[in-house]
Every structure is written in C-alpha cells, then in structure tokens.
Structure 1
C-alpha cells in the first residue's frame, strides 16, 4: 500500500513561500487602504460643498460651510445663514435663527484639512450658486507629522468663483496634486 501526502520539507517550503508572498503583499495592501481612505474623505468634503451650493440655489438663501473647531479636520457643518443682521452674525451659525442642514464629524487622527487664506473659517454659497471667494483646500495624510504632501498622501479641492468644486489634477504624474498655477501642492497647512 502506497501512502500519499506531503513530507515535512515540502510543507515547510510551502509555508515559507506563503510567508514571503504575504510579507511582500501586506505593505501594498495597506497603501491601497490609505489611498482609499484619503479619497473617501476628499469625496465627503466635496459632497458637503456641493450640497451647500445646491441648497443655496434651491432655497434662494446663503448657505455656509463652516469649520466647527480650530481647524477643518475637527469637523464642519452646513447651515442656512438666515440671520445676517450684523457682521458678527454673518457666516456664523446662530442656533436660534439659522437652519443646520448637516454636521460632519472630525477626521481620523493624522489627517489634515486646511483651506487657503480665502477659506480660513468658512465658505459661503450665494443663491446664484457662486462662492464668496475662490481658493482651495488641502487634505493630507500627515502620518509622518511633516505637514508636507508626499506622493499619494494628499488631495487638493479647488473652488472657482462660480462655486464649482473640483479635485486638483496631477498632470506631471508625481502623485502630488497641482494648484491653479500648475505648481505642486507644497504644504498641507497652507494650500
């Protein structure tokens, strides 16, 4: 009678090859997960801006997207800015008169979302759909703490004067998005 099966050496070689393949594949898989997470966060922010723009047109009133903490990564909310009676109440949420449409929670740790000087605290969309200013937002996975965009760790969200929102492109294929002047994003904290 002949016994069939694996020898101990064959089994150990199979396990060793499997371990090598797994060791090589996990970093690539983790990079894919990080990239997808960054894209998801960017899409969520773009969606909130598009919501504000469409609600401004639909309601015929200014809609504001304003950060809820010290920085945009601490969260933001979208609201109908009804009470604009004083400068202090303009573009600031007043729970007594304004209507809150949606609240977005803080981003996961290590992510930075910052607007340029035009969007330090808020962006407003008027009933015509135009934004109060032109500018951009930088979103970065700042895991290394450098505040610098590295390949595949950043997204740029651009808002033009008519209020249209788009993602920054990477025409030079270095995996870092470019600003309106076709230069690479150079800082996560001041796009």
Structure 2
C-alpha cells in the first residue's frame, strides 16, 4: 500500500477525486450549526475578559496606592480623572483615574505632588462606578488604612460591569481591597 496518490485526477480505483455538491452542503450546514452554538459563548468570554481586565487594573492601582502611602509615609490618593492631570468630581471611574502623593491631604493634585499612575477611560460597554464612600476617590494614610479627607472611615464598593459580567472591588475597614465575582451592575 503506497502513501502517494496518483498524479492524475483519478484515484486508484479509477473514479474522480473531490467532493460532491451534496457533501459540500452537508459540511457547510454542520459548520453553521457549530458556529451558531459557539458565537454566544465567545461573546460571554469576551465580556468576562473585558470586565476582569478593568477590575484587575483598578485593584492593582488600589494596592499600589496603599503601598505607596506606607512606603512614602504620606497620604496617597486614587481619584477619578478625565485628563490624567487633576481629580474630577463630575466623572466616574469609567472615565479614568489618577494616583498621586497627596502631601497636603486635600484630595486634589497640586503643583509639586507626584503622579504615580494614570489610567485612561474604559471602552464601552464597560462601566466602573463606586458607591457613595468611594464615588470619586480612595485615599490611603501612611498606616495603610483608608480615610476620607475629613478623617472618617472610608470603605466601599467599586463595581465593574459589562451587561451581565460583573466584578466588585470591596474595600474593607482596614483599607484592603478584594475582588469579588458577581453582583449587580449599577449602571
């Protein structure tokens, strides 16, 4: 038995090689059924990936803010920012954020206060929103705990979502952020 095919257009039995029209249509029908089943699963995978990436970037920035406050012995603030230069009260976390050393503790980046990290806006349909205590900023003291600008305890939840894919970043009383899968999208 030889593994080489004959060089002519016929197989070893003398018949023509190739697919019939019926075989081709059956193969296309099977492919269409498989594609129809796979596309919704791929869409879900893409949504989960987008949400996970945005949540991981934000929780990384929170851990960095906490460690920078401890390392530098000064307050560090992570705030909503549309331009990457200054904090903005009228925007949410979807529009971007800014991490800086808040030497004077006023919650605003002033001249001479170092920018540590900047992140731009998220692409739709991903949204990131914080509940009231963390709606526009999270501020860490040199001890690693979160406090509002007036000194009150600051803990809350940042929700990252894309339709049905949801991740929540919960900031505890000690200032430690943790990632939680699921929750309700607060669009």
> What's the TM-score bracket when you normalise by the shorter of the two chains?
0.7 to 0.9
Q: Which moved more, 1:46-55 or 1:109-118?
A: 109-118
The answer to whether the 8 A contact 1:83-1:97 is kept is: no
Give every structure 1 segment of 4 or more consecutive aligned residues whose post-TM-superposition deviation is greater than 6 Å.
Answer: none
Cα-to-partner distance string for 1:72-131 (whole Å, 9 max, x where unaligned): 1100000001134xxxxx01111x121100110001122221111111221101111111
**Matched residue SS, 1:32:** helix
Aligned to 1:120: 135
Aligned to 2:108: 92
**Matched residue SS, 1:129:** coil
Which residue of 159, 165, 172 maps to 2:171? 159
How far did 1:4 drift?
Answer: 3.4
Aligned to 1:146: none
The answer to whether the 8 A contact 1:52-1:64 is kept is: yes
How far did 1:57 drift?
Answer: 0.8
Aligned-pair RMSD on alpha carbons? 1.5
**Matched residue SS, 2:19:** coil
What TM-score, normalized to structure 1? 0.79
The answer to whether the 8 A contact 2:102-2:108 is kept is: yes
Q: Unpaired segments of 5 or more residues in structure 1?
A: 85-89, 143-149, 170-175, 178-184
Structure-2 separation of matches of 1:25 and 1:58: 48
Count residues with an aligned counterpart: 160
The structure whose Rg is larger is 2
Q: Unpaired segments of 5 or more residues in structure 2?
A: 1-13, 83-90, 148-153
